[in-house]
């Protein structure tokens, strides 16, 4: 082949490590020390020296690849970077390509809700040789947290595959007013009024466990319990306290306890009597099936079941971030919680 003539395809050459001094690595090489370290030992493009040979042998590399890319082909790192660049959006940042992977992370200073179009993820992964892994839509992403990653499976891939990813992303934006298939919706900081019901707590017979548990969840998402009040298992008293919290103009009202079908549990009826529009009393998710969601003069109100006190993940953990992101909860969304809604039971 004459110098400068176009190549028909990428050429990979396998070279024994003892003969590789002075050659450039075609890809990153990883070192794994169980229980201690897993990461990049040598970066793509590293020029091998005599001192590197023992290290290569230590990680089981008796041969290395050198590579000459063919026309119309991309190295795994370049392809993964271009894919990520086509997909990421506002409030996100990209990591440096590493072993054919690029992570898409939150660049926000507050928690956010991931909103991801599942059909786009499937369409990209159906192309073959490339991969897009994401969180499920409506997962919470903390500041600096990862919501997606691109990956190229072989060492090189056709440029057309990456161009196809770009077309998919561009078409999505054209159909959705410029919004990309990966989005982050920052959670708002709510001031929340909390009403804890139950005669045993109101009388002081037992210590309140609900308040601290709810406070931890709320604060982890950047909001606060501005006030906590207590009421016995008396419907009229609960209604009165709900109206009091509404008058304080809190962004949200939470009512804990008294959510079961026991005769002493008055909370669901009291929330309805207070004037709330009930979206759903009961969810098809476990734990958290007795949760109530409604709106009182457009203020979100939830009745929280006892599992919120002791289970690490309930329907409250699913729906609260959506409310904080400004979403209006519908019955259809509650119904959909049943699929994949079995947790720690």
Q: How many domains does the chain have?
A: 3
- Do 52 and 78 have their domain in common? no
pLDDT at 7: 41
Burial of 8 (0-12, 13-18, 19+ CB in 10 A): exposed
Q: What CATH number is associated with residue 86?
A: 3.90.1150
CA distances (Å), 109 to each of 85, 244, 316, in order? Answer: 21, 33, 23
Block means of pLDDT (10 residues each) for the chain, 345 residues, are 44 83 81 83 84 90 81 91 97 93 98 98 97 97 98 92 98 97 98 93 89 98 98 94 98 90 74 96 95 97 95 97 97 96 82
- Do 161 and 199 have their domain in common? no
pLDDT at 199: 83
Structure tokens at 270: 């009291």
- Do 92 and 170 have their domain in common? yes
Classify residue 343: in a domain, yes or no.
no
Residues 196 and 231 sit within 8 Å (Cβ to Cβ): yes
Classify residue 6: in a domain, yes or no.
no
- Do 151 and 261 have their domain in common? no
Distance CA 281, CA 265 (A): 14
Burial of 123 (0-12, 13-18, 19+ CB in 10 A): middle
Classify residue 254: in a domain, yes or no.
yes
Distance CA 215, CA 223 (A): 9
pLDDT at 184: 98
DSSP string of 51-67, one letter each residue: THHHHHHHTT-SEEEEE
Neighbouring CB atoms inside 10 A of 300's CB total 25
- Do 286 and 323 have their domain in common? yes
Neighbouring CB atoms inside 10 A of 76's CB total 24
pLDDT at 5: 36
- Do 178 and 269 have their domain in common? no
- Do 210 and 227 have their domain in common? yes
Q: What CATH number is associated with residue 240?
A: 3.40.980.10
Distance CA 63, CA 57 (A): 9
| Residue span of the structural domain in which 124 resides | 73-186
pLDDT at 156: 86
Classify residue 4: in a domain, yes or no.
no
- Do 40 and 85 have their domain in common? no
pLDDT at 265: 64
- Do 118 and 142 have their domain in common? yes
CA distances (Å), 270 to each of 48, 179, 248, 255, in order? Answer: 74, 41, 19, 10
Instruction: Bin 258: left if φ > 0, else alpha if -120 < ψ < 50, else beta.
Output: left
The residue among 65, 138, 75, 128 whose CA lies nearest residue 102 is 75
Q: Which residue, of 135, 158, 186, is where some domain finishes?
A: 186
- Do 295 and 157 have their domain in common? no
pLDDT at 298: 96
Q: How many helices (H) and strands (E) does the chain have?
A: 10, 19
Distance CA 76, CA 286 (A): 42
Q: Which residue, of 158, 186, 214, is where some domain finishes?
A: 186
Classify residue 214: in a domain, yes or no.
yes
pLDDT at 3: 37
- Do 147 and 202 have their domain in common? no
pLDDT at 345: 58
């Amino acid at each position: 082949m004459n110098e400068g003539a176009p190549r028909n395809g990428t050429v990979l050459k396998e070279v024994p490590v003892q003969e590789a001094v002075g050659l450039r690595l075609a890809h990153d090489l990883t070192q794994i020390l169980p229980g201690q370290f897993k990461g990049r030992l040598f970066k793509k493009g590293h020029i091998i020296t005599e001192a590197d040979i023992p290290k290569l042998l230590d990680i089981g590399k008796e041969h290395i690849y050198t590579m000459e890319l063919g026309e119309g082909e991309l190295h795994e790192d370049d392809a993964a970077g271009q894919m990520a660049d086509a997909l990421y959006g506002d409030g996100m940042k990209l990591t440096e390509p590493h072993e054919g992977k690029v992570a898409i992370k939150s660049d926000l200073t507050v928690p956010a809700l991931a909103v991801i179009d599942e059909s786009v993820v499937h369409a990209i992964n159906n192309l073959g040789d490339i991969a897009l892994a994401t969180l499920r839509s409506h997962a919470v992403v903390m500041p600096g947290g990862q919501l997606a990653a691109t990956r190229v499976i072989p060492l090189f891939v056709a440029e057309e595959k990456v161009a196809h990813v770009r077309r998919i992303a561009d078409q999505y934006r054209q159909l959705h007013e410029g919004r990309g298939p990966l989005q982050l919706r920052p959670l708002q900081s709510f001031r929340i009024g909390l009403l804890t019901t139950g005669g045993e707590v109101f009388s002081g017979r037992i210590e309140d466990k609900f308040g601290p548990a709810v406070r931890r969840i709320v604060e982890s998402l950047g909001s606060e319990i501005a006030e906590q009040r207590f009421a016995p298992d008396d419907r009229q008293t609960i209604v009165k306290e709900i109206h009091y919290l509404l008058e304080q103009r809190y962004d949200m009202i939470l009512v804990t306890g008294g959510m079961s079908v026991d005769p002493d549990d008055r909370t669901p009826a009291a929330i309805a009597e207070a004037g709330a529009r009930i979206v759903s009393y009961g969810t098809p998710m476990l734990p958290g099936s007795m949760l109530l969601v409604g709106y009182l003069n457009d203020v979100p109100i939830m009745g929280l079941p006892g599992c919120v006190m002791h289970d690490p993940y309930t329907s409250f953990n699913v729906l609260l971030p959506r409310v904080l992101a400004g979403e209006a909860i519908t019955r259809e969304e509650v119904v959909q919680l049943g699929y994949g809604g079995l947790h720690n039971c």
